[in-house]
Amino acid sequence: MRRRTHAEGDGEPTPRAHRPARPASATTGDAEARRQLRRARRERQRYERQEVRRFTQRARRRRAGLLGALGAFLVLALVVGIAVYSPLLALRTVEVEGADRVSPGSIQAALSDQVGTPLPLVDLDRVGDELRAFPLIRSYSTESRPPSTLVIRIVERTPVAVIQSGAGFDLVDPAGVTIERATARPDGYPLIDLPSADFSSPRFQAATAVLIALPSDFLPQVDSIQANTTDDVMLTLRSGKKVLWGSGERSADKAQVLQALVKARGDVGSYDVSAPDAPVAGP
């Protein structure tokens, strides 16, 4: 066995260098922190991926909804376009309701240029222009009745009196529109005694206002009416009896009183209803 001896004066052997030892608790804490950091990163990445998926799904649903709505609108527009321009909805029949003095055939002839037009595209302004050319039409309304009928409802002017003119007699409405012209006086309507056929004059308006107030069944009993002024209206009945009407105020009351007087005092020659609360039946 070999032995190693150190001579006097030899130095002591130099010990090896070592790092300072770390406490076990510090090492464990660092590892735990790193694990928590990695876990937080994974959670964050998972959350971000989920948000991206949710956003993508919402965007897809929104886009699908918009595309569906656009498709439905296009289909509806296509259907409406086909329906509007379809020959099945072309105007073929013009029905006229309410016509008496006006010939339905003349109205249909005036609107013949609209026949063949798709019913929703009928030019109602043009229809109105054609109907206003008929002086006997006071008002009108229209109704589109699919698939191919246009209904025209008219309200004719109502005659109320006769005006004597140079050519004969004009049957007029309260506005002075001539409804009928004849050489002989039409029966059943009173004659308005005017110095001239001035339908805008206060005298004409006062006379027609009184005639309008009379019941329709009593109007044929009036032979003539004269308005010297707006406050001095006089009626002559077909029996020859005179009626002092006065002004146009309370004309409805005066009409009722006059009817009652004629029934109760048919033996007298005149009536004064200018004050309807105190009427007078003359000799």
pLDDT in tens, 86-117: 777 899 999 999 999 999 999 999 999 999 99
pLDDT: is 224 or 146 the higher one? 224
Residue of 110, 206, 203, 90 lying closest to 152 (CA atoms): 110
Asked if residue 277 and residue 176 are part of one domain, the reply reads yes
Asked if residue 241 and residue 134 are part of one domain, the reply reads no
Which among 132, 156, 180 is the end of a domain?
156
Which among 156, 172, 198 is the end of a domain?
156
Q: Residue 191 falls within a domain, yes or no?
A: yes
Could you tell me the pTM of the whole model? 0.63
Enclosing H/E stretch for 255: helix 251-264
* Residue 174 to residue 164: CA distance in whole angstroms: 15
Asked if residue 259 and residue 192 are part of one domain, the reply reads yes
Which among 138, 156, 174 is the end of a domain?
156
Asked if residue 177 and residue 107 are part of one domain, the reply reads no
Asked if residue 192 and residue 269 are part of one domain, the reply reads yes
Computed on alpha carbons and rounded to an integer, the radius of gyration of the chain in Å comes to: 52
Tokens of 97: 């309701």
What residues contact residue 272 under an 8 Å CB cut-off, 6+ apart?
Answer: 243, 244, 279, 280, 281, 282
pLDDT at 68: 80
Asked if residue 219 and residue 193 are part of one domain, the reply reads yes
Asked if residue 269 and residue 215 are part of one domain, the reply reads yes
4-8, 16-20, 41-45, 204-208, range with greatest mean pLDDT: 204-208
Task: Write the pLDDT tens digit of every residue in 242-258.
Answer: 999 999 999 999 999 99
Asked if residue 126 and residue 205 are part of one domain, the reply reads no
Q: Residue 21 falls within a domain, yes or no?
A: no
pLDDT at 39: 83
* Residue 272 to residue 115: CA distance in whole angstroms: 58
Residue 190: what residue type?
P
- Rounded (10°) CA dihedral 218, 220, 221, 226: 100
Q: Residue 30 falls within a domain, yes or no?
A: no
Contact 260, 218 (CB under 8 A): no
Number of domains in the chain: 3
Contact 128, 151 (CB under 8 A): no
Task: Write the pLDDT tens digit of every residue in 79-91.
Answer: 666 666 677 789 9
Asked if residue 169 and residue 146 are part of one domain, the reply reads no
Residues 81-90: contacts with CB within 8 Å, 24+ apart? 84/118, 84/120, 84/121, 85/118, 86/118, 88/147, 88/148, 89/118, 89/119, 89/120, 89/146, 89/147, 89/148, 90/116, 90/117, 90/118, 90/119, 90/148
Q: What is the span of the domain harbouring residue 178? A: 161-281
Asked if residue 262 and residue 217 are part of one domain, the reply reads yes
Asked if residue 227 and residue 151 are part of one domain, the reply reads no
Asked if residue 165 and residue 277 are part of one domain, the reply reads yes
Q: Residue 34 falls within a domain, yes or no?
A: no
Task: Write the pLDDT tens digit of every residue in 115-140.
Answer: 999 998 999 999 999 999 999 999 99
